[in-house]
Each structure stands twice: as structure tokens, then as C-alpha cells.
Amino acid sequence: MGTRELKSGEKIENLTLLEPTEERESGYIVWKCECVCGNVVYASSKKLKRRTLISCGCVNGYKKHNQNLIGRKLGMLTVDALADKKDTGGKKMWHLTCECGGEIWMDTGDINRRKKTSCGCQKNYNRVSLYGYQKGLLTVKSPTEKRTKQGSVIWECECQCGNRVEVSENILVHGRQISCGCRKKEAMKTVGERLHRVEGTCIERLGQKPARPESKSGICGVHITKNGRYSAHIGFKGERIYLGTFNTEEEATDIRIRAVEELHMPFVKKYRGSDPEKNSENKLKK
């Protein structure tokens, strides 16, 4: 069912919408309508939009497949006429003209479900011209014929390293990719020089760290539960260790600090003591 708003004076089949009332039917606004025969009838916006009520009852033998859809708008499409041909199931087809000049045929059910809103021209329509657009190390060169499932145009881009890569318009505009992948490869080469792992544990990540920006408690390793209590945990040697749930933030914070002192710090001291070369404050960030 469409989400468009109904307006006073709008005509739906044999009914003319007069005004909305304060009544509701299953949550939908009930409209006061006038039938072509002069009778007044009340119908919910749901029934009006779906065309399940098109008269006061004076139109006998009405069936859904007998609707007059001429003039109906579906996005860029307008229903022009009832076509002579029928589909393979025997359903009658309607002729629709697109704003781009194209034409298609649809049956009554597909029109009511708004199955299509264009003749297909939108699939090939570039909403944004990205020729020459630069994002990070990427420079947009030309669009391809490929599209994402969401219909976003896939562009061919050239990276500063010389490689070419295909990136969707949506990813480019929102900056979710800024290279062909070369930056990530270069960064990964230096990870070993910056981070030190012992027994599956990253030394630089041990200790009492600041909480993430999205943390509601503001304390690393302490989280607010759905019932308003505070849960504490700590990571060590590749495992997430549950420390308990507490009534107050102070209790959870205290147990988290104690866990750091009992688990992390002895491990760090042992590592620093066994390797004096790594015993520098700039390589050990708490």
C-alpha cells in the first residue's frame, strides 16, 4: 500500500473525498466521501488507497480486476489505457508511459502493488556525475555498466599506486573506500613493528584503557545492562573473561581495576623484564 497522503477533493474511482473525520478504523483515518450517485459514504484511508471500496454500493458486481486504472500514477509511470493483449495467465494488461518516453505493460495486481515505478530507465540513471571525483588516493575515471543490488552505479577508479579498482557510487560518496587496498597492505606491514603479541596477547592493549566513545558507562570493560545494572569483563590471552554484574558503577569499576592489576600487570612486568629492549614507555600504552 502506498504511503502517499490523501487530499480533500481527490477522486478515487466513484468516490470524491470530502474531508477526514476524527474517527479511526484499525488506526487508519476515516474519510467522508461522496459517491457519483450522490450518496455519502465513510471509508478508511487504507480501503481508499487499496481501492477495496470504490462506491457507496451502487456499482453492482464490482470486482478488483474490473478497476478503471487510467490516469493512475506510479512514480515515473502513468497508466494510459487498457491494452488489447493479455499475459500468459489470461490477465488483462494495462499500457503505461514513462516520463522518459518509454512504455511498459503491467497487470492490475502489479499496478496496485506498485511493482514498478519506471520503465527501467532508473537502473541506468547516474544520480551523481563523479567524473574526476577524488576520494583519498582514488580518482574516478568512468562509470561501468555494473550496478549494485541497490541500483548504485559502479565506477572505475584509479589509485595513486597505479592500480585500477571498481567502486560503487554509494561507497565513494560516503568515503568508505579511499584506496585500492594498498594503504591497508602497507599498514599491515608495519603492524609487527608497532604491536607486540605474546601468548596471543597484544602487550600494547593491556592495562586500564579509556572507554570507547560510544560507551554509556564511560569506563573500559564496564557496560550498562538492560535492567540498569553494571556488567564487567576483561580481555586476556584472546579470551573475554566475565567478572560479574553489579548494582552500582563503582562496584563494577572496582572489580575491573582489580582484574587489571591481577591479570594484566604481572604479565606486562614479566614481558618487560624478559626483553629490556621493549622496556620503553612509548611502546607500552596503558
Alpha-carbon span 257 to 264, nearest angstrom: 10
Question: Over pLDDT 90: what percentage of the chain?
Answer: 11
Alpha-carbon span 52 to 199, nearest angstrom: 69
Dump pLDDT digits (tens) for 231-250.
Answer: 888 877 777 888 899 988 88
Alpha-carbon span 244 to 255, nearest angstrom: 9
Distances (CA, A) of 160 to 163, 178, 182, 187, 188: 7, 10, 9, 16, 18
Cβ neighbours around 209 below 10 Å, total: 13
Most confident range (mean pLDDT) of 136-150, 178-192, 256-270 is: 136-150
Strands 230-236 and 222-224 come out as antiparallel
Average pLDDT over residues 68-72: 84
Q: Please enumerate in sequence order all residues whose Cβ is within 8 A of that of 257, keeping only pairs 6 or more positions apart, or say none.
A: 208
Average pLDDT over residues 111-136: 73
Q: What confidence category does residue 156 fall into, taking pLDDT thresholds of 50, 70 and 90?
A: very high
Return the pLDDT at 260. Answer: 82
Return the pLDDT at 221. Answer: 82
Q: Please enumerate in sequence order all residues whose Cβ is within 8 A of that of 107, keeping only pairs 6 or more positions apart, or say none.
A: 87, 91, 92, 93, 94
The residues spanned by each domain of the chain are 11-62, 73-122, 133-182, 196-283
Backbone angles phi and psi of 20, in degrees to 5 = -80, 145
At 197, the amino acid letter reads R
Return the pLDDT at 158. Answer: 93
